[in-house]
Structure 1
Amino acid sequence: MEQVNPASRPRHVIWNTAETRPDEQFSYYREAICQAFMNLTPETATTSRFPAKVEAIKVGNGAINRVVFPEHTVHRSRADIAASTESCFYLNFKLAGRCRMLQDGREVSLSRGQVGIIDSDHEVTLLHDRGPALEVASFWVPSRALRDRLPPSFDFRAERVSDDPHVGHLIVETARSLNAGALRMAEEDSIRLFDVLLDLVALGLSRGSWAQTAEAASFADATVLALRRAIHERLRQQGLTVAAVAGAVGISGRYVHKLFERSGTTFSDYVMERRLDGAAAELKDPALAGREIGTIAFDWGFSDLSHFARRFKQRFGCRPRDWRSR
């Protein structure tokens, strides 16, 4: 089945096997999870009924996939990986039952209330058991969105990130809040909360490698998180400067440039991309359909409408009004 990028589908989609004949339910479920996640190969011992529900909620370039299902096994094989057009991480928040995640010779077990992460670029087996009705909220995280928050040389492996003694509980509560409120809050707010979740996960993963990482690099990674947070809090301010953000974090402007250079970008480009993302989200929000495009641009720190329109087209391939009309 052709894989569908979460960023290209409607914001909210539901697949329910109750809508199909009992002998077709598992096949329907298999197609649904391939649409919601990416190419996967599920297996089940049952040959008849398979009561399951898959719900996908788009959050910026990522997604929350809520899945309720009976006991079964899911594989991501070499063939599945080769057939996929996207790379991502799955951040799984277990809501009911147990899931054992086997990847690269490592097993990570998740029980209710725990959060684990796996890489879609490596073969993995998910064993879902301990209950007739199991449930998970799986956050579809574009690879770059997380790797940009991690040290360049970071060696990823499957982890239970909720175990971190400092930020594990924050990861759990943020995942819980985002899962529960994604459809109730404005899309812009859900994207911000998604970014907070990724910051916390990156911090937890980085902490796990600090014993093998030079002290200076560890300090830089933590500082980058604080730097991005300071920028996000000030994105709507016109004339946002390196000096203002550096002062908020307590570092020099020169070090700000160095940290962004280390990540392969610049302060200006990072601010521009985040502002354009925020404006694009508001242009698609039906609740803001009556707000002028210029007003939205100015709200996101742009002082020149023609400059905003030009940069918007460069990033998204169309003019702001065409984006809104879609």
Structure 2
Amino acid sequence: MRRLRLPFVSDPAGQPIDGRMTIQSSTMGLQFARIESGRQVIDGRELEQGAGLWLLVLLKGQARFSADGVSVDVDRDMIVYGATRHDSRLEVGEDNAILFVRIPAVALGGRLIAPANYKSGTLDGRSGTGRMLVAMLLVLAEEIGDIPAQELRPVELALIELLTSKLLGIAGARSLGGARGARAAHLHRIQQTLETLLWDPDLSIVKAADEVGVSPRYLQRLFAADGRSFSGYLKQRRLERCHADLISPLHAQESISEVAFRWGFSSSAHFSRSFREHFGLSPREHRRSGLANRAQDETEINKLWGEYQEFARGRV
């Protein structure tokens, strides 16, 4: 569970937890984990989790989810979601299996409005977008660990777009209405398109407006109403994508310049200056710190595994 940055895990009866876990990470930093175990409780919050969202689907067995004063029995036609670093509790019964997905904020790209509304909740998976999401996650749970990275890429993109569209509708219904809600929904759809164009170093507001079928002036007003500019949003998204790739093991063999050029930067020097201004350290320093943190995690995981084996032997 340390690898997933999940909070304290325990068996209600105080027994060692026996189970199996398969984890796969995507190029955008999403984590997919199939977890099979006996009775256990995952309770609290883990502050080391980066900002973002998580999803949970019950594959077999029984589970109960509690957060924000609400407690529900989880079924296979339901997606449980929540914000990272937020208190919640999951109780699972014997012989259970769940799929856990963690989506970092960098992958969401600021496309969700009213983020405070996403602390925790459930999505109906019996119809519409919810049904498509559940179907995708159930298939993914069967194939996890065997999907090549290049084939996982379209899966993560589809997952993010379906999820943000679903959550946008929930947040819009709760917090935004009328013309403001319509503008936010339109901006969300435009940002979805922009995500596929970040690689283009010649992307301008004129070119982007033509791509999405609006005037440059209207596109500029949409971003201004959201408190941003088109160029500022584009630069931020490119920097965030580079930030994620620089510490991803899938891109460990690529040079810093290769990562920068892939996300639309045409100058290494300009990229390095912009990266330091935005994140407070150089791309090289960020990559080194990411490698160090990963090595520390591996050491801690190995230590915890050794302690568990000693504990289990002592109970035999």
TM-score by length of 2: 0.71
Q: 1:308, CA displacement in angstroms?
A: 2.4
User: Which of 184, 188, 199 is the matching residue for 1:225?
Assistant: 188
Q: What does residue 64 of structure 1 align with?
A: 32
Q: Summarize the alignment of residues 1-326 of structure 1 with structure 2, pairs less than 5 Å apart.
A: 33-45=1-13, 47=15, 49-59=16-26, 60-76=28-44, 80=45, 87-112=51-76, 114-129=78-93, 132-142=94-104, 148-152=110-114, 155-156=117-118, 158-163=120-125, 165-176=127-138, 180=143, 184-186=147-149, 190=152, 193-212=155-174, 213-279=176-242, 294=257, 296-315=259-278, 317-319=281-283, 323=287
RMSD: 3.8
> 1-side partners of 2:146 and 2:163: how far apart?
22
Matched residue SS, 2:128: coil
Q: Is the 8 A contact 1:97 1:128 kept in 2?
A: yes
* CA pair 72-182 structure 1, distance change in 2 beyond 3 A: closer
Residue segments in structure 2 that go unaligned for 5+ positions in a row = 292-316
**Residues 88-145 of structure 1: CA distance to partner in whole angstroms, max 9, x if unpaired?**
532112222232212223233332364211344554221213xx42111212234686
Matched residue SS, 1:155: helix
Q: Is the 8 A contact 1:75 1:125 kept in 2?
A: yes
Q: 1:202, CA displacement in angstroms?
A: 2.5
Q: Is the 8 A contact 2:17 2:38 kept in 1?
A: yes
TM-score by length of 1: 0.69
Q: What does residue 27 of structure 1 align with?
A: none
Matched residue SS, 1:268: helix
Q: Is the 8 A contact 1:56 1:66 kept in 2?
A: yes
Letter in 1 for 2:268: L
Q: 1:251, CA displacement in angstroms?
A: 2.8
Letter in 1 for 2:234: V
**Residues 248-275 of structure 1: CA distance to partner in whole angstroms, max 9, x if unpaired?**
2233323333333444443223322333
Q: 1:320, CA displacement in angstroms?
A: 5.1
> 2-side partners of 1:158 and 1:287: how far apart?
30
Q: Is the 8 A contact 1:66 1:135 kept in 2?
A: yes
> 1-side partners of 2:157 and 2:139: how far apart?
13
| More off after superposition, 243-252 vs 141-150 | 141-150
Residue segments in structure 1 that go unaligned for 5+ positions in a row = 1-32
Letter in 2 for 1:89: L
> 1-side partners of 2:208 and 2:145: how far apart?
29
Matched residue SS, 2:92: strand
> 2-side partners of 1:218 and 1:144: how far apart?
23
Q: What does residue 300 of structure 2 align with?
A: none
> 1-side partners of 2:122 and 2:112: how far apart?
17
**Greater length-normalized contact order (CA 8 Å, ≥ 6 residues apart):** 2
Q: Is the 8 A contact 2:108 2:160 kept in 1?
A: yes
Q: Is the 8 A contact 1:114 1:160 kept in 2?
A: yes
Q: 1:294, CA displacement in angstroms?
A: 4.5
Q: Is the 8 A contact 2:55 2:81 kept in 1?
A: yes
> 2-side partners of 1:153 and 1:184: how far apart?
31
Letter in 1 for 2:168: S
Letter in 2 for 1:133: D
Number of matched pairs: 286
> 1-side partners of 2:105 and 2:240: how far apart?
17
> 1-side partners of 2:190 and 2:137: how far apart?
22
Matched residue SS, 2:41: strand
Q: 1:322, CA displacement in angstroms?
A: 8.1
Q: Is the 8 A contact 1:162 1:171 kept in 2?
A: no
How many percent of aligned residue pairs carry the same amino acid? 21
